[in-house]
Structure formats: C-alpha cells, structure tokens
Amino acid sequence: MKKAGIIGYGWVGARIANAMSGQYEIYTTTTTQEKADALNAQRLDAVVASFPDYQLNEPYQRWKAIDDLDVLIITIPISGKSCCVSSLYNRIQNLSAFIGDFKGQIFLMSSTGVYSDAQGEVTEEDVPVENVSGERMIKNKYPQVNILRLGGLMGDNRLLKNYKVSNLDYAVNHIHYADICSIISIMIEKGTEAKLYNVTAPLHPPKIQVLNAQNNVPDNEETEVKGKKVLSSKLVSELEYVFQYPDPRAFHEINSNH
C-alpha cells in the first residue's frame, strides 16, 4: 500500500486523510500528544510537530516516516502577512528540517487570500508564486510542489450561515472539501508536479443567495455581485475536472453521488 504524509491534521487535513485512507497508509502530524494518541488509536501514524515562526536552539528533528512516503500534503498555514517575512521564513525552515529534501510528489494548501484586494475575475496569473512569500519559499526548496489556492473551506459543519457575514452582495469563492480531496486524488494518479491551481467552485453567487439557500429563504431577487471571483478554469481544463459541488448554494445538501 502506498504511503501518504499529511502535515497538519486540522479540519481539511482530517478530511483528506479520510478520503485517502482506503488506498494509502496515512502518516500525519498534530500539535498535541493527546490528539496524536487519539489518531494512533485510529490506526493512523501520528507524531507531534508544530512549526513555530522563530529559530529553534536545536534544529528540528527529521520526520522518521519521510523516506517511505509517496506523497506529502502540507496543510499548515504558510501565507504570511508581508510584515512578518522573517517569522514565515523561520516557520518554513523548521518545516523543511522536518521533511528534509523530499523528492516525491508534494501538495501545498495555499489560499485564495493571496488575491486580497482584487476585483472582478482573477486567475493564477494575476498573482504569480514569486509574489507570495510563503509559496515562493516552499517552491524554492521543493520545485516539484503543486500549490493549491483553496477558496473558503466548506461542507459538513462549515456553512456560511454559521459565521458572522458582512458585504452580503459580494461573490463567494468557496470550495467543498469533497472536491479538494478528489482534485488531489486525480493529481496523484496523473503524477502532476509543479502546478499552481485555484481551487474554487465554478459558481460565485453573492453571499446573500448562499445564506438564503441554507436558511430555506426563497430568493428571487437579482443581486448585482461585487468583489472578486477567483476562477478555477485552469484546473478544469488541464485536469478535465468536473466538480461534485459546483454551486455553493447547494453545499448544505447531501450529494447523492456519495
């Protein structure tokens, strides 16, 4: 059985691990011993590792599992605000000490937050990797890395109505976790390397329409949509990907394909 490493067993890491568990032995990291014990009890191989944004007195110990892994998926946040490039650099140094010179397939979960002030439709070319400190630092060390800029993570207990929402006429750039898992799976099968993709559902309704759908409020009004729409068309054309959840207004509905 192939082996996959997931650095950061948080909300999205857990769902990726769950999706891969039938085909892969899963190795993962978490930030507390208690959580590591619980994961080891579920037959995952978990170790405690957090990657602080300061220099350590002793260099980080290399992950014992790393040489056996076929795939590595990094879900810890590496997007830094421009003020703190040095702390981001330290965090990535600690991470790279942990994973060494891993040569296999790597996925980095980044964010559509890199397009902070954009308006209208945006693609990967609008903000290249070189302009995003965290992405650039990882790519310099691991040129084979696939960088996935994820939209707002949704599905299960994560619905827009559970959050405090402003700017109701702004477009959403959301992604259902099931599509993230499928996209990673397809890229692993294809052996894809060194790609940059936006990962957002292809429809970008305004927040108010998503909220109304989730609250069962009839919605017939045409809203003029503001803000940015982060397009995933490059991913769709290169991977011939068909979204399981193309419309954020339906994320709360149980998909019959599963």
For residues 59 and 80, give the distance between their C-alpha atoms in angstroms, rounded to a whole number: 22
pLDDT < 50: residue spans in the chain: 258
How far apart, in whole angstroms, are the C-alpha atoms of residue 22 and residue 46? 17
Burial class (CB in 10 A: 0-12, 13-18, 19+), 9: buried
pTM for this entry = 0.96
Q: Write out pLDDT tens, residues 93-132.
A: 999 999 999 999 999 999 999 998 889 999 999 999 999 9
Q: Which two tokens stand for residue 27?
A: 């190795």
Instruction: List, as one string, the DSSP characters of 77-101.
Output: -----GGGHHHHHHHHHHHHHHHTT
Number of other residues whose CB lies within 10 A of the CB of residue 254: 7
Return all residues near 128 (Cβ < 8 A) that are at least 6 apart. none
Specify the pLDDT at position 223.
Answer: 78
For residue 211 the two structure tokens come to 């909220």
pLDDT at 258: 46
Q: What is the pLDDT of residue 183?
A: 98
Interatomic CA distance for residues 121 and 173, integer angstroms: 11
**Tokens coding 188:** 């692993």
